[in-house]
Every structure is written in C-alpha cells, then in structure tokens.
Amino acid sequence: MNSFTLGRYIPLDSLMHRFDPRAKIVAMFLLMIAIFIPSGFVGYIGIFFIICIGIYASKLNLKFFWNAMKPMFFMLGVLLVINVLVVKSGEPLITIAGFTIYWNALSQTGYIAVRLVLMIVITTLLTATTKPTDLTIALEDLMKPLKKIGFPANEIAMIISIALRFIPTLIEETQRIIKAQTSRGVDLQEGKLKEKVMAILSLIVPLFVSSYQRAEELANAMEARGYVPSRTRTRYRQLQMAGRDFVMLAVCMLVLLSTIGIMIWL
C-alpha cells in the first residue's frame, strides 16, 4: 500500500507544477473526452504523445505511474476472461480443448485497457503536480458560473479536495491497522473463507472508527478557524493564467479535434 499514488502530491520544481491548476483541470477533461471518442488505436497516438510530454515535464519517476496502474491488473484479467467466454466474433486465433478464442475478444480487452491506462496516468499526473489547496481554488473558479443557478460550488470543491487529500491518509491508516492486527495473530492471507471474512471485519471496523474520528477532528478544526460554507471567502493568493497555460490548452484542444476528425474519417 505504500505504492498507492492516487491523490498524493509530490512537491517538485517542474513545468507541470508551475502550470495554472485551472488549465490542468480543463486540459484533463479535454483529454478525457478525446479518450472516449471511438477513434481506434490510431486516435490514441496523439493522446499518448501528449501524456509522455507531460510525464517528462513533471520530472516524476515512471515507477510512480506504474504503481498507479497496478490495482487495475486484476480487473483487466477478469475482463479478459469474460470477453474470451462471451465474444464469438472476428477471426479465430486458437482452439484449446474445443474452445476457440477469437480476435475481437482480445482487441476489445486491449481497447479498454488502453483507455484505462491513459485515464489513470492523466488523473495521477494532475493530483501529483497540483496542491490540494490549489485544486480547491481551481475547482471553485471553474464552477463559479454555476453559482447563479444556486449550485454550491464552494462546498463541492471543498468536498472533492478533502476526498483526494484523505485517500493516501486512509491507505496509510489501513496499513497501520493491518500491521497491528498481524502482530495480534490475525492472518489475512491464510485460513478458511469464514476466517478470512472475520479477519477482514477486524480490519474494516477499526478503519471506519478511525475515519469517523479524523472526520470529526477535521470538522472541529475547520469550525475553530471560522469556516462557514455559505459565507464568501477572500484569498491571499490569486490564480493567474500565463501564456504557457493557453498553449497547453490549445494543444489539448487540437488533440481532441484530431480524434474527432479520425473518428469521422474512419
């Protein structure tokens, strides 16, 4: 669990860290839309190229992104098995004990895998190069027009920021509880099904108790500092877009338009 990377900010002096958080969020949404456009593997070349540039500009280790993708391997394995059993179209590849595996089963799994990898890398790149406070401010600014229709932009931005901030904290707390339970003789790996269920319950219950305690402490701290959700707040730091931010947005928009063009052409 030490390798869990989602929501973890890595303080470095890089170009990606210096981008305006609002520009990074908009760029992420543009690339996400491009990922879901059915432009085939050809359409993902531009997205992959932009992501590689972003990783290089962030100065983050490739192992950091590899750790972010590890949790999805099990899901992809299950998806591959389901597609092999269900999909019966395309060119037959191999027959094992009277069971035939078709090309479309593998291609669909690969297509979904590429989408997931790109989405995970993009979101990891955003959270690793953006401070939680900057992320909150950026979300508030981006959702500010929705305030005219009564949308609680400040509250939603704060909730998202707190959720991202506490993901690594909860993972560390889970690891601490696992070590404590293991030292007391609880085995989470071996044993019968009933014993494993009881071992998991011995992990979940203290984790929920600890989470509620942290939530209460956070609420008390925010209340002691005078935080009122409905009140208008001022900021010491004001976000300002620079030329590099507009260049990044223009490049991401160009990638999106390119994927749309490839979809129409195909």
Most confident of 171-175, 183-187, 197-201, 220-224: 220-224
Same domain, 7 and 124: yes
Residue 217 lies in a domain: yes
The confidence score (pLDDT) of residue 208 equals 84
Same domain, 81 and 175: no
Beta bridge partners of 95: 100
Residue 159 lies in a domain: no
What is the total residue count of the chain?
266
Same domain, 181 and 200: yes
Same domain, 42 and 121: yes
The confidence score (pLDDT) of residue 34 equals 92
The confidence score (pLDDT) of residue 70 equals 78
Question: Are 76 and 116 in contact, with CB atoms under 8 Å apart?
Answer: yes
Give Cα 206 distance to the centre of its chain.
26
Same domain, 12 and 110: yes
Mean pLDDT over residues 171-184, rounded?
A: 78
* 106 vs 257, residue with greater confidence: 257
Residue 53 lies in a domain: yes
Same domain, 178 and 223: yes
Same domain, 181 and 56: no
H or E segment and range at residue 94: strand 92-96
In this prediction the pTM is 0.74
pLDDT digits (tens, 9 = 90+) for 27-41: 999 999 999 888 877
Same domain, 76 and 187: no
Same domain, 218 and 260: no
The confidence score (pLDDT) of residue 114 equals 86
The confidence score (pLDDT) of residue 64 equals 85
Is 199 a residue whose pLDDT tops 80?
A: no
40: closest CA among 88, 110, 89?
A: 110
Same domain, 10 and 30: yes
The confidence score (pLDDT) of residue 228 equals 77
* 230 vs 6, residue with greater confidence: 230
Residue 94 lies in a domain: yes
Residue 140 lies in a domain: no
**Count: domains in the chain:** 2
The confidence score (pLDDT) of residue 1 equals 47
Residue 233 lies in a domain: no
Is 218 a residue whose pLDDT tops 50?
A: yes
Is 231 a residue whose pLDDT tops 90?
A: no
The confidence score (pLDDT) of residue 28 equals 92
Same domain, 36 and 1: yes
Range of the domain at 102: 1-131+239-266
Residue 34 lies in a domain: yes
Tokens 């696992």 belong to which residue?
A: 178
Same domain, 3 and 108: yes
Is 211 a residue whose pLDDT tops 70?
A: yes
Helices (H), the chain: 15-18, 21-36, 40-58, 62-69, 73-86, 103-128, 132-142, 153-183, 193-224, 243-265
pLDDT digits (tens, 9 = 90+) for 116-156: 889 989 988 998 898 888 888 888 888 888 877 877 777 88
Mean pLDDT over residues 49-77, rounded?
A: 85
Residue 123 lies in a domain: yes
Structure tokens that stand for 143 in this block: 């959702």
190 falls in which pLDDT band (50, 70, 90)?
Answer: low
Is 186 a residue whose pLDDT tops 70?
A: no
